[in-house]
Structure 1
Amino acid sequence: MEERDMNMTDEHMAQELRKSKGSKLGGKILSLLGVVIAVVGIILGGNLVMIVIGGVVLSLGQMVQGKSKDKAGRQTFDAIAPDIVGAALENVQMNPAPHLLDAEDTNIPLPGHTHCSGSGYIRGTYRGLTTELCTVRLTEVSEFQREETGLWEKNEQVVYTGQWMLCELGQEFQTWLTIWPRDKMDKLFNARTIKTGNEMFDKRFNLSSGDAQAVLCILNPGCIEQILALADASFGKFAVNLNPDGRLYLAVHSGRGFFDIGKGREMPDQLRRRFACELRWFTDLIDVFRGV
């Protein structure tokens, strides 16, 4: 009976995902039409009416795309997320308040932004440890003046979307540490970073800490090898921040949130596997730091 109910749920979700893709296509067509109308208005000597109509049609197309994805995403979350989270965590709370996880209360380097917001908060206990996960989104707001109308408008651009997790390890450490990916500029200018002696790790990550010697006791060779193995299985560039009081922050710059349907191309069984795999990746990284 339970298997039959799941099949019915999957069938319904698959239908909604297909509808979402259809609505998304319609929204894209509307958006493209809006751009064409606005461009024609500009070509015709700055025809303000056509430019405004084009802007309205463009906004309508974007709204249609967003609403269809949001609806499919909410239904998928309600049908799948509780079981996935319940298999990994105990004492699960959806949308707990107040939140424990604050992305700006860490040493994890973030791109420049105007606003930082979190969503989809879920709290539970992982092997007896208080754990909270959420989606972090950073946006940059800028103002510009349209040449055609002379009006000032605001442009809000998403500069970062990632999956974050906080775990309270329940133990104290001698120092803090932050691990984040090395980029081309770091390598070019040979940015200052603590060397672990593991060539592969030192090429892939920056490491900073309040105590260079103490941090190497935390990041022992076995710990480093486990981090490298998880790096190979990662679904985005990730960073780690460990505090002396045992708060462990994990952040993956994946471009999506937890239980995000993405482009809606995956069917329910595929989404279940991906969601479970992503959550397990985070708990595996928690295990690396447990008891080190």
Structure 2
Amino acid sequence: MEEKSRNMTDEHLSRQLRKSKGGKLGGKLLSLVGGVVAIAGIILGGNIVLVVIGGVILGLGQMVQGKSKDKASQQAFDAIAPDIVSAALENVQMSPTPHLLDAEDTNIPLPRHTHCSGSGYVRGTYRGLTTELCTVRLTEVNEVQREETGLWEKNEQPVYTGQWMLCELGQEFPTWLTIWPRERLDKLFSAKTIKTGSEVFDKRFNLSSDDEAAALRILTPGRMERILALADSSIGKFAVNLNPDGRVYIAVHSGRGFFDIGKGRESPAQLRQRFAHELHWFTDMIDAFRGV
């Protein structure tokens, strides 16, 4: 009976995903038309009317694309996410308030941004530990002057989208530590970082703390080995911040949120598998720090 119900849900969701593709295609066509009209206005000596009309059509196309994806994502979330989350967490709360996870209340390095927002908050307990996950988005707002009109406009650009999880480990630690990816420029300029003694780990990650000795006691060879193994199956570049009060933050710069349908090309079964894999990766990282 449960399998039959799931098949019916998947069939309905498949239809909605196909509709979403059609809506996104219509939005893209509108955006293309708007861009062509705006460019024509610029070519024709800065024809303000055409530029404005093109901008309006372009904005409408982008809005249609966004609404179509948002609707399909919500339907996928409603149909799939509750079962996936309940399989990993107990005492699940959808959209809990107030939120426990604040991306800017950590030592995790973030790109320059004007606004930080979280969405899709879910809270529960993982093996008895309070856990909360959400999607974090950072945007940068700049003012630009349009050459064709001379008017100043605010331009908001996304600079970061990632999946975050907070877990309260229920114990205190002698120091904080942050692990984040070692980029090419870090290697080139020998950016200051705590060396762990593991050549493989030090090539892939930076490590910072206010107490080097205590941080290295926490980051044992076995723990580094588990982190490296998870790095090989990660869904994006990730960072971890462990606080003295027992909070551990896990941030993955995946370019998408939890339970995001992406381009909408996956079947409901494939979405279910991906969502479960992504959530399992985060709980595996929590396990790497349990009992530190």
The TM-score with structure 2 as length reference comes to 0.99
Counterpart in the other structure of 2:64: 64
Is 1:130 aligned to 2:135, yes or no? no
Deviation of 1:76 (Å): 0.4
Give the residue type in structure 2 aligned to 1:91.
N
Deviation of 1:22 (Å): 1.2
Q: Percent identity?
A: 80
* Matched ranges for 1:1-292 at <5 A: 1-292=1-292
Alignment partners' CA distance in 2, 1:205 and 1:235: 16
Q: Deviations over 1:37-71 (max 9, x none)?
A: 11111111111111111011101110110011011
Alignment partners' CA distance in 2, 1:5 and 1:13: 12
Alignment partners' CA distance in 1, 2:249 and 2:266: 29
Q: Which runs of 5+ in 2 are unaligned?
A: none
Give the residue type in structure 2 aligned to 1:127.
R
Alignment partners' CA distance in 1, 2:217 and 2:52: 62
Q: Deviations over 1:73-101 (max 9, x none)?
A: 00000010000000000000011110000
Q: Deviations over 1:82-132 (max 9, x none)?
A: 000000000000111100000000000000000000000000000000000
Q: Deviations over 1:231-281 (max 9, x none)?
A: 000010000000011000000000000000001010100000000000000
Alignment partners' CA distance in 2, 1:76 and 1:54: 33
Q: Deviations over 1:201-230 (max 9, x none)?
A: 000000001111111111111000000000
Q: Deviations over 1:2-22 (max 9, x none)?
A: 211111110011111111111
Alignment partners' CA distance in 2, 1:211 and 1:44: 64
Runs of 4+, deviation exceeding 6 Å: none
The TM-score with structure 1 as length reference comes to 0.99
Q: RMSD across aligned C-alpha pairs, in angstroms?
A: 0.6
Give the residue type in structure 1 aligned to 2:188.
L
Alignment partners' CA distance in 2, 1:134 and 1:65: 23
Give the residue type in structure 1 aligned to 2:155.
N
Deviation of 1:23 (Å): 1.1
Alignment partners' CA distance in 2, 1:25 and 1:75: 19
Aligned length: 292
Alignment partners' CA distance in 2, 1:217 and 1:229: 20
SS in 1 for 2:156: strand
